[in-house]
Structure 1
């Protein structure tokens, strides 16, 4: 089965074990994993606010989301948090809304261990489990368990939860295993945190309803996701009524999208129907006091149905903040201040202090960078003449390039198919390195081949073009969409092998499709398919790296998305027709 990248001379599995042990050694003697409800003091708040005051107290909720392993941003985040804690001692709570570990060579090689250790030092109070927390699969080198092998498909995630024990829990109020709450060490629906200011904050975590379709299906077997709003209402009631929470904050790996961030009460720039907005609108009045959102990689700094919601892009770009004023006499939050996302730029003045990267956090993340430096710099013998862009909702040069290379890797296939979410960064101009390719394709998916009828492919593209998911990337095929009497109609034309090029695909045709195991197992808009894995255990990213080394030469964006010759085209009126499911 697949092995992830291993920098010589030490194997990845040994590195994971060695690094985790090194981190754990620094935590020897710490208490065991906290029970489902834990009272803890907020880290680093060195000067307590008087608990005897009856005057209203303002606290700051600092939220991060979708770090995706960008540990290089954490020292600067530490500088900002240090400045805020110095200005507001005893009144700062740092939380994360998930998709934290997976996404970079520096984090993936160690299955997220450097992130957890940095989060411990930063003083996080809790972390919500996001869909990509399941991507690593079992602890060790396999991304999924080999067929017939014994083991735990959530082993890597549980190892990170165990590593965080004594510092912060992982939260999941709407994830069930065999119909019950997760019974994993240091994982709970909610936690209670008592600030040094005397305020008790209940934190609960939820994840997007799309989680089963947005991670490797094999790693999610036996789990289910319950409706978000119901889970929030239930857990918020318990936090207030039986667990002593003064304030309730949701860490939601579900998000929204707003383009104007100046006025938190102006929702005109916010995309209606977004998952977290629907959750907020479905909650009973006063159920929760704030939501830290995630998943969409967009920005939100708005009040929806009276609830402050913050989301701060992705990849360590920024953090969010909402200040809540608690009135001890009224025993409720009487006001809130929502801040637009603050970008993580060192040297700026924040809360009266010039922000300097936190040296202790830097010391934690530096070894991970040093360990992968040689692998990251490995040349692939190809020059990128201009940046090759990835786009999530539109056909892109990078999507077309990668799907074309997938088809080249499987000469027996008729077409290739990939999902936009599998690609995460542009290929930069200049000599292409393994690290740059890894940043673009950070998932350890394997190349697979499946067989699909023409009708099934037409239905797939119809669903995809009418959905809110990212566009499918294709090779060996052209897709033409038009409006019909009952909605969007899709035609397929072969565009690969010379003998078949230009032939219209019939409903009864059966095509061999090169794709990834993620899609073949039912990811994205696909239903699970019978499939065969390509020869060898490498991730398809590494097969592409080997292919590029053999090919050499240069890559130009215009070779992969020719003006006036897209692989997916819309007849006049078709884009509006495709909006029907949005």
Structure 2
């Protein structure tokens, strides 16, 4: 009897242990969380954007120190699980960055611990190391400044669709094949970079003559397959190619997204399902935070005003993404302080508020503390910039000079006049993307002129027949973004809706007809960027004989120098040209693209 009782107790105890073991095994392991943090189009914005308020305060938005604070909060929230990616155009655009040819940005990115970055079109802008944005002397390397930044960076700069024109292979100087494989919390994550196919049109074409930019989709597919063959369990693209979505409320609702001219969406449509697990996009300076073909895509307006986040969850057993768990946080504003009422640091919303009460911002249930270690990194570049910024030019703007982009702008007209007068040409033509800021009324400093004209473009002249000039203007105004080029010596009539065939009429100033006789020629002054085929003008300019294209007809004068010289020749005053060189015909409004 006693033996039976012992056996029974043993059986009961064994059953209890077995049940306990079953309960332990029944609890599945937690998925592995990977936090992708995306920034794009930084454009040298190491300092915050500053907006004077009506009550005397100065509002700050973004900048490197605040960006570092947000990245720190994200890393505290997911230790060891953050992948920080930049989608290109890191350098060009501010005095501190341009005076150091991007070195100050790489110092900041090294400090931030950037995982990888895409190579954007403006990464090629600086040309050789040192003054001058293009090779002019024997031994000058048109890729020298970019190579120097790659050598300085402690993170890879990637472009899987970039090829050396001579060999057809990825260039040796990038140090990679456009891909990067790393381990995050035990998960093998593959990163592939992509550059916009339009790069030769949106940088100085002379600097990329030795390179080719392949179509995105085939390059992404090849790179993804290579990464997965090397063991990648998650593949992410960081692409200097983007799109635009106006409504970020529902990441599954893409009805607000422009799908007509979205390079990144065109690529996704051409890829087999499962090629990419996420995309950090850029180039268009527009917001995205949506799923396309179940691929989460994020993009911000750039210039260090915000960042985007994609959280991926990986099953620890199958090592596959759990799509239903993926989360997107699009365009998170980078604020150290916010208005207590509106909860924002957006100067465009608060500049006219009668009173703003600023309070410290919080993020992920913790305070935002700007990184004090950033300031010493910036100090040498900021000292150079301050010296240049405040240098008086002996030049006064008689009235505010506002730039335009999708409409005619006073400053664009002035620059077109400057081009025409500097080269003693018949026509002046200025692309709106080359004018980056307004000029205020009053005495002007070099820094203000630099911010308006940050690119080192020189005055060039192209001699065209009447039909060729008409074709040039057709290409200029036929761009899908609706950009309105500034003209001098001409008056143009456009259809309201952007796209090919938008130009409906052109005359000389005062309505004098443009002569379309092939024997009649016109000297057209324009930035050398355009003369080399930039901004979509290449289809015509590649057919113009080289002897009719003068890249340095005015001793290599750049646009800033030309503007200053023009003003001083007129008594030191820049007058605001009248609007009315661009007129419109046809419908008053256009249907929204992508609807």
TM-score by length of 2: 0.81
CA contact (8 A) 1:100 1:133 kept: yes
CA contact (8 A) 1:446 1:534 kept: no
What are the Cα deviations for residues 43-69 of structure 1, in whole angstroms up to 9, with x where unaligned?
xxxxxxxxxx94201121111111111
Q: Determine which of 43, 48, 61 is the counterpart of 2:36.
A: 61
Segments of 5+ residues of structure 1 without an aligned counterpart are 1-52, 496-500
Q: Counterpart of 1:278 in 2: which secondary structure?
A: helix
* 1:133 has 2:123 as partner: yes
Q: Counterpart of 1:162 in 2: which secondary structure?
A: helix
Provide the C-alpha distance between the structure 2 equivalents of 1:491 and 1:225, rounded to a whole number of angstroms.
35
CA contact (8 A) 1:460 1:525 kept: no
What are the Cα deviations for residues 276-306 of structure 1, in whole angstroms up to 9, with x where unaligned?
1111122111111110000001111111111
- What does residue 417 of structure 2 align with? 404
Structure 1 residues 222, 308: closer, same or farther in 2, change over 3 A?
A: same
Q: How does 1:161-240 map to 2 (within 5 A)?
A: 161-164=150-153, 167-178=154-165, 179-195=168-184, 197-240=185-228
* 1:309 has 2:297 as partner: yes
Provide the C-alpha distance between the structure 2 equivalents of 1:403 and 1:574, rounded to a whole number of angstroms.
27
Q: How does 1:471-510 map to 2 (within 5 A)?
A: 471-481=484-494, 490-495=504-509, 501-508=510-517, 509-510=520-521
Q: Counterpart of 2:303 in 1: which secondary structure?
A: coil
Q: How does 1:34-73 map to 2 (within 5 A)?
A: 54-72=29-47, 73=63
Q: Counterpart of 1:393 in 2: which secondary structure?
A: coil
CA contact (8 A) 2:474 2:502 kept: yes
CA contact (8 A) 2:135 2:142 kept: yes
Give the Å deviation of 1:398. Answer: 1.9
- What does residue 560 of structure 1 align with? 577
Structure 1 residues 489, 475: closer, same or farther in 2, change over 3 A?
A: closer
What are the Cα deviations for residues 286-342 of structure 1, in whole angstroms up to 9, with x where unaligned?
111110000001111111111111111022211111111111223211131111201
Q: Counterpart of 1:426 in 2: which secondary structure?
A: coil
Structure 1 residues 429, 337: closer, same or farther in 2, change over 3 A?
A: farther
* 1:246 has 2:233 as partner: yes
Provide the C-alpha distance between the structure 2 equivalents of 1:65 and 1:216, rounded to a whole number of angstroms.
21
Give the Å deviation of 1:187. Answer: 4.1
Q: Determine which of 519, 532, 542 is the counterpart of 1:521.
A: 532
Q: CA RMSD in A?
A: 2.4
Q: Counterpart of 1:333 in 2: which secondary structure?
A: coil
Give the Å deviation of 1:488. Answer: 5.1
Provide the C-alpha distance between the structure 2 equivalents of 1:248 and 1:417, rounded to a whole number of angstroms.
44
Provide the C-alpha distance between the structure 1 equivalents of 2:172 and 2:305, rounded to a whole number of angstroms.
33
- What does residue 445 of structure 2 align with? 433
* 1:255 has 2:242 as partner: yes
- What does residue 141 of structure 2 align with? 152
Provide the C-alpha distance between the structure 1 equivalents of 2:304 and 2:222, rounded to a whole number of angstroms.
32
Q: Counterpart of 1:71 in 2: which secondary structure?
A: coil
Give the Å deviation of 1:383. Answer: 4.4
CA contact (8 A) 1:452 1:511 kept: yes
Provide the C-alpha distance between the structure 2 equivalents of 1:383 and 1:224, rounded to a whole number of angstroms.
44
CA contact (8 A) 1:454 1:506 kept: yes
- What does residue 99 of structure 2 align with? 109
Provide the C-alpha distance between the structure 2 equivalents of 1:521 and 1:491, rounded to a whole number of angstroms.
25
Q: Counterpart of 1:406 in 2: which secondary structure?
A: helix
Give the Å deviation of 1:247. Answer: 1.1
CA contact (8 A) 1:488 1:574 kept: no
Q: What is the count of residue pairs matched by the alignment?
A: 511
Q: How does 1:373-392 map to 2 (within 5 A)?
A: 373-384=386-397, 387-392=400-405
Segments of 5+ residues of structure 2 without an aligned counterpart are 1-27, 48-62, 337-359
Structure 1 residues 192, 80: closer, same or farther in 2, change over 3 A?
A: same
What are the Cα deviations for residues 121-142 of structure 1, in whole angstroms up to 9, with x where unaligned?
1000111101111111111222
Give the Å deviation of 1:385. Answer: 6.2
* 1:442 has 2:429 as partner: no
CA contact (8 A) 1:161 1:187 kept: no
What are the Cα deviations for residues 504-542 of structure 1, in whole angstroms up to 9, with x where unaligned?
102123111111111111111223354221333342212
- What does residue 11 of structure 1 align with? none
CA contact (8 A) 1:480 1:570 kept: yes
Bigger radius of gyration: 2
Q: Counterpart of 2:326 in 1: which secondary structure?
A: strand
* 1:94 has 2:113 as partner: no
Structure 1 residues 169, 233: closer, same or farther in 2, change over 3 A?
A: same
- What does residue 345 of structure 2 align with? none
CA contact (8 A) 2:478 2:503 kept: no
CA contact (8 A) 1:125 1:193 kept: no
- What does residue 271 of structure 1 align with? 258
Give the Å deviation of 1:387. Answer: 4.3
Provide the C-alpha distance between the structure 1 equivalents of 2:452 and 2:493, rounded to a whole number of angstroms.
27
* 1:293 has 2:268 as partner: no
* Segment drifting more, 401-410 vs 73-82: 401-410
